[in-house]
Chain A
Amino acid sequence: MNKNIAEIIDALAAHQDTSSIGVLEELGTNSSDNDVREYTSRALVRKNVHDSLKVVIINQGKGINDLSPAVAMSTINEILSLKDKTEVIKILDDTINLHSDESVKENARSVKSLLALS
């Protein structure tokens, strides 16, 4: 992965401006490069705010629902390593209960199970 892109993602991850989440979603999670998608997803998880976690949990083809197992597993690992898991559990519960896509629901259920075991 390009070093400059990695630094931009880090800068956006640490950014206080909420618009940074939109940039990460737009350019990072939609990237054709698996490494960029993986790095962006982890950055969004590290932000640990409602909007950023929502991107990697409820969207089909992004974060835990990524078609690349490496990206999905890496995102799940990052979620499991969070110190404060309250926000992520809340979003997972909402996804399991309210989401229309069954595969997204299934993934959210699996991650919640892993969180319960960890």
Chain B
Amino acid sequence: MAKIQKIELNLAQKIANPFKTTRKSSTNPFKYNDFEGNTLDLSAFADVFEGSSKPVSKLKMITASVVGTMTKIRSNITEPIVNFVNRVRTGITSAWDYANNTSVSEFLGIDKLSEKIKNINIGKEITDRLALPHINLTEINQTISGKWAGLIEKINHKRISSETPVAELRTMWLDEIELASKKEVA
């Protein structure tokens, strides 16, 4: 009976004002939809309902731009990523197979290198190596003799003075002349 009375009241109200609704005015248009309480927090869309007078956040603009660009790039990729990765992997595998299955002699430049090795005359190399110490010894000999001559000259140098007897000076002079003539002949 109570239910019937309630319906009658409602009908009466509708007849009196057919455009009047029972909904309360609200800023949330989804409030009365059936989301079973899982409504979104509208603070995320606060900008939508705000006036344009508020300055636009640059960070948000950049983020939006990046997201848009990424979407565009993804749509432009014609080859699936999986195919691309497979292709690279195949390339690496083929190089590895080439290295494993190719003999050393087939590598580029190896033949020229082997020719070089063949052309090396080991006997000559050894002779050259043996000849080197001989030359060095001769040079050392010359150096020693030069040093010795220098030492002798120094000893003679001490003897040359006005105190030295004239006969001795004469002999020394003659020796020098003889030495110079020997050098000229050599």
Contacts and interface: CB of A to CB of B under 8 A. Distances in A.
Interface of A: 2, 4-5, 7-8, 11-12, 14-17, 19-20, 23, 26-27
Given A20-B166, A23-B166, A27-B170, A4 B156 contact: yes
B26 to A, nearest CB: 123
A29 to B, nearest CB: 13
Interface of A, secondary structure class, is: helix
B174 interface: yes
Most chain-B CB neighbours within 10 Å: which of A8, A19, A26? Answer: A8
B161 interface: yes
Contacts of A11: 160-162, 164, 169
Given A4-B176, A5-B176, 7 more contacts: A2-B176, A11-B169, A14-B162, A15-B162, A15-B169, A23-B166, A26-B170
Contacts of A19: 166
B180 interface: yes
B166 A8 contact: no
Given A11-B161, A12-B166, A14-B162, A4 B172 contact: yes
18 contacts: A4-B157, A4-B172, A7-B160, A8-B160, A8-B173, A8-B176, A11-B164, A12-B162, A12-B166, A14-B162, A15-B166, A15-B169, A16-B162, A17-B165, A20-B169, A27-B170, A27-B173, A27-B177
Contacts of A17: 165-166
Interface residues on B, range: 10 to 19
A17 B163 CA distance: 10
Contact of B153 (A4, A8, A26): A4
Contacts of B162: 11-12, 14-16
A40 to B, nearest CB: 10
A15 B176 CA distance: 20
A100 to B, nearest CB: 30
B178 to A, nearest CB: 12
A68 B50 CA distance: 120
A5 B161 CA distance: 12
Given A14-B162, A27-B174, A8 B169 contact: yes
8 shortest interchain CB distances as A-B pairs:
A14-B162, A7-B160, A23-B170, A19-B166, A8-B173, A17-B166, A20-B166, A15-B162
A52 B14 CA distance: 165
